[in-house]
């Protein structure tokens, strides 16, 4: 890639119009009651997280370009990494990391343990049109799912609790919802609990529970705007911005050997499997909802009149604007024209209504649900936003994590395999370890390892110059070369899965 020709690069990755995106972001500031910590109106973010590339120092000095050093590159790459170990169950541990391209980052992630039922939830959320929708979904969705998974007896027990214990235990939770929105969201969740009680059954269907909870949260994003407007004719700019921005989501629910994946949009989940010949195989679980998915195109065409066939999908985008063909939020493509004219146009102008907007809704948040029974051959799961998958194939990602698994053992002290080991055996062990150290990765965290190779990888390894260049770009330019990246690598316990009954 020629880094000097940045000006000729077209920003093909942007998912919404730049000027409109700026107007959507400005909605937060019109409320007039926001400080620097909660400038997005929904979440307090501490300054040590989700920073932009403030370590940047690619400058011209005496005609010589000064690149980021390897140490500075590593500081940037590791800033948001996290890992968690588990003592029991099919999930042994997970690594996660995020690297911004936008400022602020529009991706987010969440990992949680269900408290009243067994099972782990892992999710990646890729926002567009601003970070608001992705941030709110990451804070609310797993609570909805955990409630939907409760059988009737536990649901009734939970509702009677005073005070109620949390339904989930989240890990690496970096943000809090601001108080005024928390009250709104708690009210919506209580309405959902009442709905679940009214239709509760003793037997819980996990697939339908995942669909119902995701659709319910998406409906609540709309109702939280329209309910207030119908009640008193006013609009809460914070809830409106959440509804107008959007997010795609990919999440997994893992309970013993049973794994369910729910996908809305163009994030992906891939399993790394080792076959009988000790070769790595990549099993892509999900299928993107974009124009490369012909079944998805047919679905949209069939939902609208034949005369809209040429306008509903233009330039490989929904109505010529939106790249993912399913998402949460994005009510510019779901509300009817009258609602958009009354609520949105006065705030952000006529462009709020997309061209050729005749038969809404054009967009749905309904997820595809995939089931996979884990086997001892399944070693790990990679869930990532399209920022990673734009840069590497599923098989490349699986091989990189597989190599990382082999090499990361050298981050730990040497443990002798048995007592009273002979000197010759010890020498052979040390020589083998010395030779194997050549494959020791730079990063202990597998998500960081993937991001490093996604940005700086070549067929000959990681190119520091390329990595330093791309990490040094300002957000305006960086977005033309790559998207935000969010990666979670979930490791399975092969021995536990081996003991699970068939």
Pairing of strands 485-492, 91-99: antiparallel
In 3D space, the residue among 272, 256, 271, 250 whose CA is nearest the CA of residue 369 turns out to be: 250
Q: How far apart are CA 268 and CA 394, in angstroms?
A: 9
3-state secondary structure of 169: strand
State the Cα torsion 197-203-208-214 to the nearest 10°: 40
Contact between 335 and 360 (Cβ < 8 Å): yes
Cβ-based neighbours of 485, under 8 Å, separated by 6 or more: 97, 98, 99, 101, 107, 384, 385, 387, 388, 451, 454
* Phi-psi group of 41: left, alpha or beta (phi > 0 → left; psi -120 to 50 → alpha; rest → beta): left
Q: Could you read off the pLDDT tens digit of each residue along the chain, which spans 502 residues? A: 443 333 322 233 334 456 666 666 666 434 333 333 344 445 443 332 333 334 444 445 555 568 899 999 999 999 999 999 999 999 999 999 999 999 999 999 999 999 999 999 999 999 999 999 999 999 999 999 999 999 999 999 999 998 999 999 999 988 888 889 999 999 999 999 999 999 877 789 999 999 999 999 999 999 999 999 999 999 999 999 999 999 999 999 999 999 999 999 999 999 999 999 999 999 999 999 999 999 999 999 999 999 999 999 999 999 999 999 999 999 999 999 999 999 999 999 999 999 999 999 999 999 999 999 999 999 999 999 999 999 999 999 999 999 999 876 556 666 666 677 888 877 877 776 676 666 678 999 999 999 999 999 988 889 999 999 999 998 889 989 999 999 999 999 999 999 998 7
- State the total domains in the chain: 1
Q: How far apart are CA 118 and CA 20, in angstroms?
A: 43
Residue 361: is the preceding peptide bond cis (ω within 30°)?
Answer: yes
Q: How far apart are CA 142 and CA 153, in angstroms?
A: 20
In Å, what is the CA distance from 190 to each residue of 184, 194, 343, 401? Answer: 10, 6, 26, 41
Q: What is the pLDDT of residue 501?
A: 83
| CATH number (domain holding residue 281) | 3.60.40.10
In 3D space, the residue among 457, 482, 219, 162 whose CA is nearest the CA of residue 361 turns out to be: 219
| Domain, as residue range, for 250 | 3-499
Residue in the block written with tokens 């490791």: 491
Q: How far apart are CA 118 and CA 108, in angstroms?
A: 24
In 3D space, the residue among 96, 262, 238 whose CA is nearest the CA of residue 174 turns out to be: 96
Instruction: Kindly provide the b/e burial profile for residues 84-96, where b requires at least 16 CB atoms within 10 angstroms of the residue's own CB.
Output: eeeeebbbbebbb
3-state secondary structure of 338: helix
Q: In terms of C-beta density within 10 A (0-12 exposed, 13-18 middle, 19 or more buried), how is residue 245 classed?
A: buried
Q: What is the pLDDT of residue 414?
A: 63
Contact between 133 and 247 (Cβ < 8 Å): yes
The pTM for the full model equals 0.87
Contact between 127 and 134 (Cβ < 8 Å): yes
Q: How far apart are CA 453 and CA 461, in angstroms?
A: 8
């Amino acid at each position: 890639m020629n880094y000097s020709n940045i000006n000729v690069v077209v920003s093909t990755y942007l998912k919404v119009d730049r000027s409109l995106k700026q107007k959507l972001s400005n909605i937060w500031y019109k409320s007039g009651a926001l400080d620097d910590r909660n400038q997005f109106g929904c979440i307090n973010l501490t300054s040590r997280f989700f920073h932009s590339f403030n370590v940047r120092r690619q400058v011209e000095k005496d005609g010589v370009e000064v690149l980021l050093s390897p140490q500075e590159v590593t500081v940037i790459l590791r800033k948001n990494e996290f890992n968690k170990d588990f003592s029991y169950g099919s999930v042994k541990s997970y690594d996660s990391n995020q690297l911004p391209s936008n400022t602020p980052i529009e991706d987010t992630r969440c990992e949680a343990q269900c408290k009243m039922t067994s099972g782990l939830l892992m999710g990646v959320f890729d926002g567009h049109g601003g970070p608001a929708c992705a941030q709110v979904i990451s804070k609310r969705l797993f609570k909805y799912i955990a409630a939907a998974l409760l059988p009737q007896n536990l649901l009734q027990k939970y509702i009677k609790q005073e005070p109620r214990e949390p339904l989930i235990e989240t890990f690496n939770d970096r943000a809090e919802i601001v108080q005024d929105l928390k009250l709104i969201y708690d009210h919506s969740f209580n309405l959902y609990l009442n709905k679940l009680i009214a239709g509760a059954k003793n037997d819980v269907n996990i697939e339908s529970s995942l669909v119902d909870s995701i659709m319910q949260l998406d409906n609540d994003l709309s109702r939280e705007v329209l309910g207030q407007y119908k009640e008193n004719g006013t609009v809460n700019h914070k809830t409106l911005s959440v509804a107008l921005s959007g997010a795609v989501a990919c999440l997994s629910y893992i309970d013993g050997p049973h794994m369910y994946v729910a996908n809305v949009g163009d994030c992906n989940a891939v399993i790394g499997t080792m076959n009988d010949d000790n070769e790595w195989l990549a099993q892509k679980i999900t299928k993107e909802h974009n124009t490369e998915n012909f079944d998805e195109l047919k679905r949209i065409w069939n939902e609208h009149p034949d005369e809209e066939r040429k306008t509903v999908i233009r330039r490989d985008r929904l109505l010529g604007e939106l790249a993912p063909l399913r998402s949460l939020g994005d009510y510019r493509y779901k509300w009817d024209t009258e609602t958009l004219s009354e609520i949105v146009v006065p705030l952000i102008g006529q462009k709020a209504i997309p061209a050729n907007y005749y038969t809404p809704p054009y967009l749905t948040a309904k997820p595809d649900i995939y089931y996979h029974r884990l086997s001892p051959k399944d070693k790990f799961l990679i869930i990532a936003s399209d920022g990673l998958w734009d840069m590497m194939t599923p098989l490349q990602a699986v091989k990189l994590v597989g190599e990382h698994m082999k090499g990361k053992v050298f981050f730990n002290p040497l443990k002798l395999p048995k007592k009273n080991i002979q000197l010759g055996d010890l020498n052979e062990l040390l020589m083998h370890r010395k030779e194997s150290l050549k494959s020791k990765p730079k990063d202990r965290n597998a998500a960081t390892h993937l991001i490093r190779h996604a940005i700086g990888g070549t067929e000959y390894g990681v190119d520091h110059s390329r990595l330093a260049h791309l990490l040094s770009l300002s957000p305006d330019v960086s977005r033309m070369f790559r998207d935000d990246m969010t990666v979670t690598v979930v490791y399975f316990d092969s021995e536990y899965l081996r003991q699970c009954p068939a």
